Structure 1
């Protein structure tokens, strides 16, 4: 007979409430956050509880189950939408100088930006590929589970006060032109040129539950897996492995690692300092 849990091992009432809420969201709406890193989820649910003005997570669960209209707001709390164009410029410089010379040997290209958020990385990648003469023969898949984030990504409109940072990042990434060539100012906003998304497919896709949907030469999934628990990280890496073509490239976030994944052997370091890997044979 199993020994009883000591008081210190027993989950708190709040932890039980969170588990039940995540289960409810999965059963009611088929969004699965059950294997997201619990500390991060707990912090965001506390913010949601305050936002909706309810006294407990259980009360928040009641709202979510009986008022589907608040689901999009809940997704805004449960998914992290923090990005900027050419974020970590050295990553994009490494792509430009070390990865794209290999990709230029392909007659056509497919790349996947997983967890594309509100689209900053999508436009960064499109600009990078355009500057290197590859955009016309590249199909970019941009995916996220948050419909509001995908809508913002499709629009390609960002506040003017963000453009200075975007421009600095673009220059540091080795940009061959001025970022202003790619957008127009419109009443305090920067509207990025529609030509940049002509070859972009925006789509709902969950790394938690969805399957492989193509063979890619490059996958960029940065600062997404840090919000997953170990099992879900492993699933995502396996999905990337199965989605990459022979000798395809994978880029992940600076605080992320393949080291503990059972799929790690499928990848070789390519630019270790920027967490860029290459799919190995076998």
Structure 2
């Protein structure tokens, strides 16, 4: 006999449904364990003893909903995170992409943009940036603003620099940013062909045909149904023989879309559309 839902879970379901009805943001199929933890953090942040009280504020105070997006979504990102992934892109994927006259890349769930800037550096070093459009999408407008700004805490730069070298970088990461009182400001030329836009993997459709989709450490926060939807979007967006990159704890292996892809660099979670 299934366990009866707790009051917290009942309230959480009502909150997610209310957000969908009011704001058209669909978090109903996000992984519950992580979501429960983040909603409890939001209760503390907004001094709401119950989720119902939090729901009341979200529905009647749009500014609270805007701030809540950081709790509904996970904004964790690093430059050249999992360097082996970027090394595989550098060595195996970019040489293939270089055979196309123009290149389109979609970074889905770009968060605060560290991966976007990392890819731009990779492309610049391969001589491909000028003919590449990078679509960087997320549902959090504040994260998108940070991504487009490309300003990161100086305290993080040492880790970024180590990862850059492990990813096959042949220069100094310092060549790509200027230190200021606000942080490390990355070279504006790197984002010349980048488009930052709101897009939801839960509710929106494909908007362009692309050669590479990089969606890393996003699917782990989705329930299976939403994972399948997102993977279907990536499949539909990719050109024939296009590439899909996932996070180190994500895989196509058990999805209904597995038969539509081949493993290109299996250890680095890089796949190629059949």
TM-score by length of 1: 0.96
Q: 2:151 aligns with which of 157, 165, 170?
A: 157
| Residue 104 of structure 2 corresponds to residue 100 of structure 1 | no
- Gaps of at least 5 residues in structure 2 are none
Q: 1:143 aligns with which of 137, 147, 171?
A: 137
Q: 2:121 aligns with which of 108, 119, 127?
A: 127
Q: How far apart, CA to CA, are the structure 2 residues paired with 1:188 and 1:23? A: 39
| Residue 173 of structure 2 corresponds to residue 179 of structure 1 | yes
Q: Secondary structure in 2 aligned to 1:206?
A: coil
Runs of 4+ aligned residues of structure 1 deviating over 3 Å after TM superposition are none
- Gaps of at least 5 residues in structure 1 are 1-5
| Residue 95 of structure 2 corresponds to residue 115 of structure 1 | no
Q: 1:36 aligns with which of 15, 30, 33?
A: 30
The residue that corresponds to 1:13 in the other structure is: 7
Q: How far apart, CA to CA, are the structure 1 residues paired with 2:43 and 2:91? A: 46
User: Which whole-Å deviations, capped at 9, do the CAs of 1:16-66 have from their partners, x for residues lacking one?
Assistant: 000000001111111110000011111100000011111111111111111
Q: How far apart, CA to CA, are the structure 1 residues paired with 2:181 and 2:152? A: 11
Pairs within 5 Å for 1:42-121? 42-121=36-115
TM-score by length of 2: 0.99
Q: Secondary structure in 2 aligned to 1:48?
A: helix
Q: 1:168 aligns with which of 162, 173, 189?
A: 162
| Residue 245 of structure 2 corresponds to residue 251 of structure 1 | yes
Contact residue 151 and residue 182 of structure 2 kept, 8 A: no
The residue that corresponds to 2:218 in the other structure is: 224
Contact residue 178 and residue 185 of structure 2 kept, 8 A: yes
User: Which whole-Å deviations, capped at 9, do the CAs of 1:93-117 have from their partners, x for residues lacking one?
Assistant: 0000011111111111000000000
User: Which whole-Å deviations, capped at 9, do the CAs of 1:55-101 have from their partners, x for residues lacking one?
Assistant: 11111111111111111210011111111100000000000001111
What's the CA shift for 1:260?
A: 2.2
| Residue 200 of structure 2 corresponds to residue 211 of structure 1 | no
Q: How far apart, CA to CA, are the structure 2 residues paired with 1:182 and 1:52? A: 39
User: Which whole-Å deviations, capped at 9, do the CAs of 1:196-253 have from their partners, x for residues lacking one?
Assistant: 0000000000000110111111110000000000000000001000000010000000
Q: Secondary structure in 1 aligned to 2:211?
A: strand
The residue that corresponds to 1:3 in the other structure is: none
Q: How far apart, CA to CA, are the structure 2 residues paired with 1:52 and 1:145? A: 21
Contact residue 154 and residue 183 of structure 2 kept, 8 A: yes
Contact residue 59 and residue 65 of structure 2 kept, 8 A: no
**Larger Rg belongs to:** 1
